[in-house]
Every structure is written in structure tokens, then in C-alpha cells.
Amino acid sequence: MQKHYSLLNDPLFYGMLAFFALLTTGSAAALGQPRFLPISQTAALFAFLTVAMRRQTVRAALLVLAIWLVTQVAALILVTRVAPGQVEQAIGDGFTYRTSFIAWFYGAGALPASLGVQPGSRILELIGVSLGSLLTGGLVGVWSLVRAANLAAYGAGVLWQDSGHTISLVAGLPIWTLLRLAGYAGLVVLLAAPLFSGNWSPRYYLTHHRRLLVVSTALLLLGLLLEFTLPGAWRALFT
């Protein structure tokens, strides 16, 4: 008997996902478009995520976000390495962030856009991922997620471009950033689920998705804690 076809089991679906991550990230960044970059990324990623969420498949939704984020970060790092001036224009206040991030790396300043330096921005980001995802089925959460990933990739890219050493990619993507992005991704999927399924019972999600809730929250909290306490030690590992 022929197996029932599922789009989420088709490798072409994930290939197209990676293609659109490359297209929306690479083209908008190379053109220096600060509005088009996150808007196009959010629209494309949300469309793919919706396919998984409508089928109420958490594993597939997490895979969609994982593939997209890896592709997005890699693409933006490469474009930053090749055309740093264009990407600087595509990132909000890119010049200030670039100079501040490089200054932090060489011990001449605090880590920019961090919890300790800009707590308000981080709180707004958290609200977008949590409450925004819950009220919009993940749309606002995806917006917050891709913007956070763009800034992370840009930081790694400018360090690589400045030093010329590939080890700067590791230094520019600190462990707390990776943990925070992973936590965000899990929470976006979890909090988008009620609007797609129509099930708003907290007990249901605590029973059936407890592991995702615990792991995502733990990753996020650990990432925030390390971001607040570890920047100096992390920098010392590479300088």
C-alpha cells in the first residue's frame, strides 16, 4: 500500500526552506535594506512554520526553525564578510553596533545590546517572543527571533572581517547567544500552538509539552545569566 504523502516528510520542503532563508537574508543584506531584511525573513519563515503548526507537529516546527536559523546566520555572516558596508546599513544602527562590538572584544567597552547594557531592549524582545507569539500564532515571535539572529550573525561577521581569522566566528557567536536563540525558538513553537490548535488549556501543554517548556525556558534563562556574567571571561578566551 502506498504511504500517505506528507509535505513535512518531503525533503524538497526543507530544501525550499533553506533556499528562502538564503534568498531573503542574502539579497536584503547585500542591498542594505534595513526594513526589507526582517520583513521578508519574517514573512517567509512564518509561512513555512505555519505549515508545520497547522498539522500540530511540534518536532517539524522545531526542525523548520532550526534549519532556517542555521541558514540565516551562516548567510548573513558570509555577506558581512564580503560586503560589510552594505550589511551595516541593513542592521538597525549597524555602525554603532559594529564599533561597540569590536571595542568589547578588544576590552575597550561593554558588550552592546546585552541585558546589562540595554535591559529594556532585551525585555521587549522577550515580550515579543512570549506574549507576541501567544497572541499572533508566532508571527511577532518570529519577527523577534529573526532580528535577534541577524544581530548575532552580524556580530560574528564583523569580528571575522576585522580580524581575518575564522576563530573569530566562534568568539562572535558566544554561547549565551546560541542558548538564547535556542530558547526563543522553542518558546515560539510552544506559545504559537494554542492559536493554531484552538486548545488554550494550560494543563494540556503542561502535560503534553512539559519537556519543551522546561528545556526552552532553561536554555533562555541560562543564556541570559551567562550574557550578564560571562562576557569578560569569554573575551579573554580569544584575546
Domain boundaries, the chain: 7-238
- What pLDDT shows up at residue 93? 92
115 phi and psi angles, rounded to 5 deg: -60, -40
∠ CA(188), CA(63), CA(1), 5° rounding?
125
Per-residue confidence in pLDDT tens, the chain, 239 aa: 456 788 898 999 999 999 999 999 999 999 999 999 999 999 999 999 999 999 989 999 999 999 999 999 999 999 999 999 999 999 999 999 999 999 999 998 999 999 989 999 999 999 999 999 999 999 999 999 999 999 999 999 999 999 989 999 999 999 999 999 999 999 999 999 999 999 999 999 999 999 999 999 999 999 999 999 999 999 999 98
Q: d(Cα 207, Cα 204) in Å, to the nearest integer? A: 5
Q: What is the pTM of this model?
A: 0.96
Dihedral (CA of 157, 159, 165, 166) sign = negative
Confidence at residue 144, expressed as pLDDT on a 0 to 100 scale: 98
Q: What is the pLDDT of residue 3?
A: 65
The helix (H) or strand (E) run that includes residue 122 is helix 119-127
| pLDDT value at residue 1 | 42
Q: Enter the DSSP assignment of 55.
A: T
Q: Which three cell numbers stand for residue 115?
A: 541585558
